[in-house]
Amino acid sequence: MHMDSKNIFDVSGKTIIITGAAGMLGTEYAKGLSEKGANVVLADLDFKKCKEISLELGKKYANKTLPINLDLTKILSIKNMVKKVVKKYGKIDVLINNAAYQGDDKLRTIPFEKLPLKSWNKAIDVNLTGIFLCCQEIGKIMLKQKNGVIINISSTYGIVAPDQRIYGKSSQNSAIFYAATKSAVLNLTRYLAAYWQGKGIRVNTLSPGGVERNQEAGFRKKYANKTMLGRMAKKDEYVGPIIFLASDASSYMTGSNLIVDGGWTAW
């Protein structure tokens, strides 16, 4: 059957869950997908922010958003989210596992030798176990539907090591627990894509590079010099890749990692 190229990126009417929806990129994904007519579920520990985003989107678009208070470290919280979403929409088309624990500024500058175990464990709980549990619970729904898309968010630092020369003592550095969990996400994606092959569920990863957000000018310059495009990403530049992965435009893609990093990892 010939694909209609006019509607190839269509996500209208799709029910899309975004974890970490209150964060900078989560908010951008929610805006972009809502503009395209998707019904977006805004799931985050910061429930207040989710409600604010939901109100803002409700004024602009006719499609329905649903703010949800989600704690990824608690299975009951995840089950409760699934129940609410299915009750409201009757289906779950796309899950975007975007939430991640990165630690605060202090944790990103602590020497590896002194990093507290509780920070490592928290990152495992949120960045890895949280995704595992979401895929498990939402996968059950997608299996019944015989249809679904899961997008796991990794990072360039799931692929390569942070170049310590550009960070120095700046709090922009990536802690080891972030890099280790984001690398694990890549194979979790491949495993699930293989496990659910033939069941109508596609699983892919998006690996973004660094986003410009008023960092110190010296750091921005050093980072930009490591990319082929000579700059950091703008916060809305990952919306296109998310729409691609959520829509039929990526219908022949599963078990893959889409790297969008300005060329950072290509040389």
pLDDT in tens, the chain (267 residues): 566 778 999 999 999 999 999 999 999 999 999 999 999 999 999 999 999 999 999 999 988 999 999 999 999 999 999 999 999 999 999 999 999 999 887 887 788 899 999 999 999 999 999 999 999 999 999 999 999 999 999 999 999 998 888 887 666 778 899 999 999 999 999 999 999 999 999 999 999 999 999 888 999 999 999 999 999 999 999 999 999 999 999 999 999 999 999 999 999
Pairwise CA distance, residues 86 & 92, whole Å: 7
**Any domain includes 207:** yes
Pairwise CA distance, residues 177 & 108, whole Å: 10
Separation of CA 191 from chain center: 18
**Any domain includes 266:** no
- Give the CA angle between residues 185, 189, 195 to the nearest 5°: 140
User: Among residues 189, 201, 197, which one has the least CA distance to residue 143?
Assistant: 201
User: Among residues 106, 99, 94, which one has the least CA distance to residue 126?
Assistant: 99
**Any domain includes 124:** yes
Number of domains in the chain: 1
**Any domain includes 267:** no
The distance in angstroms from the start CA to the end CA of the chain is: 39
Q: What pLDDT was estimated at residue 151?
A: 99
Can you give the CATH number for the domain in which 167 is found?
Answer: 3.40.50.720
Give the pairing type, strands 94-97 and 148-153.
parallel
Which residues form the catalytic set?
A: 178
**Any domain includes 61:** yes
- Residue 171: CB atoms within 10 A of its CB come to 15
Q: What pLDDT was estimated at residue 106?
A: 81
Domain limits for position 179: 5-259
Residues 6 or more apart whose Cβ sits within 8 Å of residue 216: 170
Pairwise CA distance, residues 189 & 266, whole Å: 21
The SS3 call for residue 14 is coil
Residue 239: C-alpha distances to residues 63, 73, 82, 92, 166 (Å)? 18, 27, 24, 20, 27
Give the pairing type, strands 39-44 and 66-69.
parallel
Q: What pLDDT was estimated at residue 108?
A: 78
User: Among residues 57, 52, 51, which one has the least CA distance to residue 39?
Assistant: 57
Separation of CA 130 from chain center: 12
pTM of the model: 0.96
Rounded to 5 degrees, φ, ψ at 164 are: -60, -20
- Give the CA angle between residues 241, 247, 252 to the nearest 5°: 90
**Any domain includes 264:** no
User: Among residues 15, 42, 69, 254, which one has the least CA distance to residue 151?
Assistant: 254
**Any domain includes 51:** yes
**Any domain includes 46:** yes
